Amino acid sequence: MHKLIITAFASVFLVNIAFAADTSCEAKAVSKDGKPLAGAAKAASIKKCEKEAAAKSTPTCEDKAVSKDGKPLAGAAKAASIKKCEAEAKK
């Protein structure tokens, strides 16, 4: 019984987190004068916000192009690292 209550509580918590992410983009959908957007403008703003949020959460191949000691790669080493990363991403 105790496990069931904990599971129910955890699932409610996770659902709230998912909805909170959606509302943050919806809350940002305002015009330059501070009024809430409506219709197509609101939908476009939310779509752009979600796309930017997804891009920030996943590191790009350029972000992963670092040496073993953590320094950013340059030149041919960077190009080779990016090429390998992009090839692996397509698989």
Residue ranges making up the domain that contains 82: 59-91
Instruction: Please check whether residues 54 and 71 belong to one and the same domain.
Output: no
Instruction: Please check whether residues 22 and 43 belong to one and the same domain.
Output: yes
Instruction: Please check whether residues 16 and 52 belong to one and the same domain.
Output: yes
Instruction: Please check whether residues 14 and 33 belong to one and the same domain.
Output: yes
Q: What are the tens digits of pLDDT across the range 9-41?
A: 556 555 555 555 445 888 889 999 999 999 999
Instruction: Please check whether residues 45 and 64 belong to one and the same domain.
Output: no
Q: What is the reported pLDDT for 38?
A: 92
Q: What is the pTM of this model?
A: 0.43
Instruction: Please check whether residues 72 and 33 belong to one and the same domain.
Output: no
Which among 83, 78, 79, 84 is positioned nearest to 66, based on CA atoms?
78
